[in-house]
Amino acid sequence: MYALIKTVDDRAKIRYPITRILQRLGRDPSCEIFLDDENVSRVHAELTQTEEGVFINDLASTNGTFVNGNRIHGLFQLTVGDHLQIGPHDFMLVAEEPSRLQATIAMNDEVIRHLRLPSADFKPEIAGDVEQTTVAAPDAGLKTKIDALSEAERSLPRLVVENGPKRHCLLPLVQPELEIGRSPECHLVLPDNQVSAHHAKIIKRKGGYFIYDNRSLNGIFVNNAKVRGVPLQTGDLIRLGDTTIRYEDPTKPRPAKQAPAEKPATQNIPSTYGPWRWVAIGGITLLALTVVLYWIWA
C-alpha cells in the first residue's frame, strides 16, 4: 500500500493514503485529493495504482506537474521516495504495510483501460430522435467482454453503453464516485455533442449507486423520466444526449413490478332519510321565507 505525505510548515504532515485504483488531484472539490490553490487546475492530475506500481498522469494542466523538479507529460511511474510537485504543494510517495484493502486496490490493468479507452468495436452511428431511442439487443461482442472479466469484476455493478458513439463499452464500477461527460477528464468519456463536458456523476451511497445531474445543458433521463438525482436499480436505462447506458448490478436483481391494487366495489347504500328528507327541506325553506316576508311588512 502506498501513500502521499505532504509536509506543512516543516513540521505537520498530512497523509493521503492511495486506497483507490484512480484518484484525482485538483482544485475542484469533487477531486479525491482537493488542492485549494489558484495555481492548481480544476482537475490537475490523476493517480493510478496497478499491480506494477503507482502512476501519475498530468491532465493537460496549466502550470504542469513535476516529479523531483522535472516537468512530466502524460503518464509517469512513481517510485518510493519521489517528490511530486503540483503548484505550491509538495508530496512524497511512501510505501506502507499491506492492509486488507490491498485486494480491492490491486485491480488489473484491464479495468483501467475500461475507465479511459473506447471499446475495440467502437463504431460511430447516426442517432435518431432522442425521444424514440431504441436499445440495441446484446450481441456476442458484449458477452465476450463480460466473460473476459475476472470473477471479482463480474460481481461489481457496471455500466453498459447500449447505443451511441461508444456502444458496447463496458465499465465496472470500481470506485465510489465517477463522472460521465464529453471532457477527457471524465472517467467515462462520451464523444456526443448533446452531452455536456461534465454531464453527470454516479456516487456510491448507503444502499447502492445514485446518479446526479451535474448542471448539464440537456439533463439526464432514467427510464425516460427526466431526473436530477435518483438511486439506480438493475436494468435502469440512463440517457445522456444521444447515448443510452444500462446500469447492472449482478448482486441485486431488479424487483418485480407489483400489480396495481384492485379498487373495492362501490356499494349503493340506501339513505336513512328516504323521501322525508325532501319534505323537511321544503318545510324549512317555507318557514324561512315566511319570516323574511313578515320582517319586511311588519
Check whether 164 has a pLDDT greater than 70.
yes
Q: Residue 12: phi, psi to the nearest 5?
A: -70, 140
More confident residue, 202 or 113: 202
Is it the case that residue 25 has pLDDT exceeding 50? yes
Average pLDDT over residues 232-260: 85
pLDDT tens-digit series, residues 52-67: 889 999 998 999 999 9
| Statement: residue 15 has pLDDT above 50 | yes
Mean pLDDT of 70-74: 90
Which region among 66-75, 140-149, 179-188 has the lowest average model confidence (pLDDT)? 140-149
CA–CA separation, 249 vs 234, rounded Å?
A: 5
Give the pLDDT score at 257.
63
Residue scoring higher pLDDT (254 or 260): 254
- CATH fold, domain 141-248, is Tumour Suppressor Smad4 (2.60.200)
Q: Which residues pair with 239 in a beta bridge?
A: 221, 244
Instruction: Work out the average pLDDT over 175-185.
Output: 86
Instruction: Tell me the C-alpha distance between 123 and 140, whole Å.
Output: 16
Average pLDDT over the chain reads: 76
Q: For residue 41, is pLDDT > 60?
A: yes
Which tops the pLDDT comparison, 16 or 211? 211
> Same topology for domains 2-95 and 141-248, yes or no?
yes
pLDDT(99) > 60: no
Where do the structural domains in the chain lie, given as residue ranges?
A: 2-95, 141-248
Looking at residue 67, its pLDDT comes to: 95
Model pLDDT, residue 145: 55
Share of the chain above pLDDT 70, in %: 71
Percent of the chain residues past pLDDT 90, beyond the cut: 32
What does the pLDDT read at residue 240? 95
Residue range 110-149, pLDDT digits in tens: 333 444 333 334 333 333 333 333 333 445 455 555 655 6
Contact 212, 228 (CB under 8 A): yes
Fold of 2-95: Tumour Suppressor Smad4 (2.60.200)
Please choose, from the candidates 174, 180, 170, 142, the residue with its C-alpha nearest in 3D space to the C-alpha of residue 50: 174
Helix (H, G, I), strand (E, B) or coil at 93: strand
**269 or 44: whose pLDDT is higher?**
44
Check residue 217 and report its DSSP letter.
S
